[in-house]
Amino acid sequence: MTDTYVKIDLKTMAQNARNIVAKYPEYGTFIGIVKGDAYGHGYGIVNALYENGIRYFAVSSMEEAADFRKENTKAPLLCLEPIATDRISEAAELQLTLAIPDLDYLNSLLDTHCPYPFNLHLQIDSGFNRLGFKDKREIRKAADLIEKSPYFLEGVYQHYATAGIFDPHFDAQTNRFRELTSLLDLSKIPLIHLGSGIALMAHPKADIATATRMGLMMYGYNISPDSYGGGLKDRLRSMRDDYYHKKYHLSEVIRDVELDLTPAMTYQCRILQLKDVKKGEHIGYGAGYTAEEDIRIAVLPVGYNNGIGHQNNGRVAEINGRLFSFVGEMGMNMSAVKVDADVAMNDEVTLLGGKITLGMFSRFSGMGLAEIMLGIGKNNPRYYID
């Protein structure tokens, strides 16, 4: 085995897919988001999803699409970013579904000769202010142009900026989407997809939606907002949410969704050296850590070059089911944890997985959930287990 290793459990991915599809029968099509090298899991996971009900996928570039197609040539595959029209024949070879962000792009696509009958999805900008149409007449015009073209308007979609749990933006975006698409006959367009995993879990399906997209969930994270416990902080949180709910007349929020999702990624490493450090000695760059007593440390082959960030506040590693704290600064490729006499050279060290959840990792590294998986998956040797 390599010094650091990321294990991706394909059975877990398959089970997550089955559970999601079974939980939300009101959606006809599930679009698995596999941008960013499938959130660091690699395209080796796509068939575990495809064979278990997630039958449509989305990537964010042609390069990702090419990697996807090495694993699966059948699934429809949407590219979320507009592909350069001078690469249209590559897109045809990859059998991509194309996202259309505005009329200029559509016109240049229609001017580019290509015999492949592309499916197209119109991107609607309902308030996120990234890609997409912001004018309903232009949206209508685009649909008319596509109608007369060799291509098929298969989808219309938008993306939410917030989770809509205690803010008015979510509902405002749904309403704006309705308004922007009001000159289209949505019943003739097979795939209307409004949001990502949090919209799926925290909100009832919008009547117009026929499909949903999700990323994090498939990789095993239940992102459902949790209900309130009995503590003071929870009571304050609940009061604040109630206040905003009334103030903005917010739509229903679903909490504590029971959906069995298991993280498919574990990140582990071996120990390079065990060493005794005397009271008063320093550890690492800047002599930043001083031993307050005689301690024992394990030196690990893990640093910010492994995609885990340099921030180290409260970071822990799990060895033999117990948690140990990092001591001293993260190096580029090396770091140390304070251990005890029970830890041995051959013990496996877990950095993500086991007792260490993505949420914990996010708190001590200051990184976002997807960012963590992406960094770990891309910067370490990865193994699929079946």
Ligand X SMILES: *Cc1c(COP(=O)(O)O)cnc(C)c1O
Binding site for ligand X (CB under 6 A): 33, 35, 80, 159, 196-198, 213-216, 370
**Which is closer to ligand X, CB of 33 or CB of 83?**
33
**Which is closer to ligand X, CB of 76 or CB of 331?**
76
**Which is closer to ligand X, CB of 35 or CB of 338?**
35
For residue 386, the minimal CB distance to ligand X (Å) is 24
The Cα 386–Cα 148 span in angstroms is: 47
Q: CB of 248 within 8 A of CB of 168?
A: yes
For residue 221, the minimal CB distance to ligand X (Å) is 9
For residue 214, the minimal CB distance to ligand X (Å) is 4
**Which is closer to ligand X, CB of 125 or CB of 318?**
125
Q: Nearest to ligand X by Cβ — which residue? A: 215
For residue 99, the minimal CB distance to ligand X (Å) is 9
Q: 342-368 burial, b for 16+ CB within 10 Å, e for fewer?
A: ebeeeeebbbbbbebebeebeebbebe
For residue 118, the minimal CB distance to ligand X (Å) is 19
**Which is closer to ligand X, CB of 62 or CB of 216?**
216
For residue 11, the minimal CB distance to ligand X (Å) is 21
**Which is closer to ligand X, CB of 38 or CB of 184?**
38
- Give me the half-sphere count of Cα atoms (radius 13 Å) on the Cβ side of residue 221: 19
**Which is closer to ligand X, CB of 14 or CB of 59?**
59
For residue 164, the minimal CB distance to ligand X (Å) is 13
Tokens of 194: 């409004």
